[in-house]
Amino acid sequence: MSNAKSKGFLLFISMLVFLFAWNAKSYASNNALEASKYPQEVAVFVNNKVSIVTPKAYWADNDKVYVPIKQITKMKGVTLSTNNGITVKSSNGSFKLDRSNSIVYKNATYVTFEKFLKITGYSGRFEWRGSSIFLWSDYANYEATVKKINALKPLPAMMYNFMGSKVYLYEGDRIGWVSGIKKTGYGSTEFLIQMQDGSMVVEDVFDESPNAFCEYADYQEFMSKGFINDYVWANKNVLPESNPLYNLEKIKILSVKVKNKEVNFTVKRASGKTGSFKLPIQSYLNGTVFNNFYTNDPKKAYPSWKAKAWELIAEQSISKGMTKDMVLMSWGSPDDTSSYSGTYISTDTWTYGDTYLYFTNGILDSWMDL
């Protein structure tokens, strides 16, 4: 091929690449969901109940909310026909949807929230606090919706972000959706959870995060990824006495299974044998691991400690000359402490039940049982 023809061919290819990129960019600019880097899922409430359909509603980067047309199948008084295109019929009339007034995202048809209200005849509002769309068909449901939205206002973000979320309830191993959240006094927050059969369950939360349920996505991640094939080291000071592991034993987590407010662990022990045990869920799923195990090798945190010290710690024993950190790792936190500091000396007394430990300048020098 001559140089002239070669240059012409390369120019032709470059033009094709440019036109393809331009068309893709033009399409993306008309499709806000395709163009969004992080479209945020939005819950949909219809007459005060969470409405569940497979395509999710999304809040796009252009600050508009897009609702899947399939949501109409859950709404009374509105019909959706897919013969010869998409037609929606409601109290507001008949509407034909095509590429000029809708977009396609993940194989589902979407319209803007404003358009959705127009074609369905429903009223509604998007509440950023709780990332939820609220739709209502009459004044009674409007009043109930406003009450539900106003209840979110005094809540911290980590609370109202649960609104509309799919959750996993530890007791009974059930799945539901958060349908309402409100403060009830005495430091308690009431969560109303809509179950798969439409029934409602009430859970009272006394901390900033619930301990009776978690987001379903967190449950799935814990079951499939969280700590599986990871090495952890047993903290026998907090593990139940019935647990078979010894203090600081290195184990490999082979599998986890959540069942009725407990996590069932299958592990490979330091001996090479496979074992299993159960632990109660503590505040949140990952807490069952973080609160009972060291997730990093304690020996790497204290490389200067002698082998004898580690042997004593593994046996949960103490001896003169131990530092405070050594005692903490062997016996855990004391029930009570007192200290005195002078010009040349500092002393500390730690109490474990009826046993008193005495430290001089941070070193254990004696103890006494009463």
CATH of the domain at 349: 3.30.1450.10
Q: pTM of the entire structure?
A: 0.80
Flag whether 16 is in a domain. no
Of the candidates 298, 319, 338, which is a domain's last residue? Answer: 298
pLDDT digit string (tens) for the chain, length 370 residues:
544 444 444 444 444 443 334 343 433 457 999 999 999 999 999 999 999 999 999 999 999 999 999 999 999 999 999 988 899 999 999 999 999 999 999 999 999 999 999 999 999 999 988 899 999 999 999 999 999 999 999 888 888 899 999 999 999 999 999 999 999 888 899 999 999 888 999 999 987 778 899 999 999 999 998 899 999 999 999 999 999 999 999 999 999 999 989 999 999 999 999 999 999 998 789 999 999 999 999 999 999 999 999 999 999 999 999 999 999 999 999 999 999 988 889 999 999 999 999 999 999 999 999 8
Tally the domains of the chain: 4
Q: Is the domain of 142 the same as that of 70?
A: yes
Question: What is the domain range of residue 347?
Answer: 302-369
Rounded Cα distance between 122 and 56, Å, is 19
Of the candidates 248, 279, 298, which is a domain's last residue? Answer: 298
Of the candidates 132, 150, 168, which is a domain's last residue? Answer: 150
CA angle 163, 257, 171 (to 5 degrees): 50
Q: Is the domain of 129 the same as that of 58?
A: yes
Rounded Cα distance between 165 and 156, Å, is 16
Flag whether 8 is in a domain. no
Flag whether 2 is in a domain. no
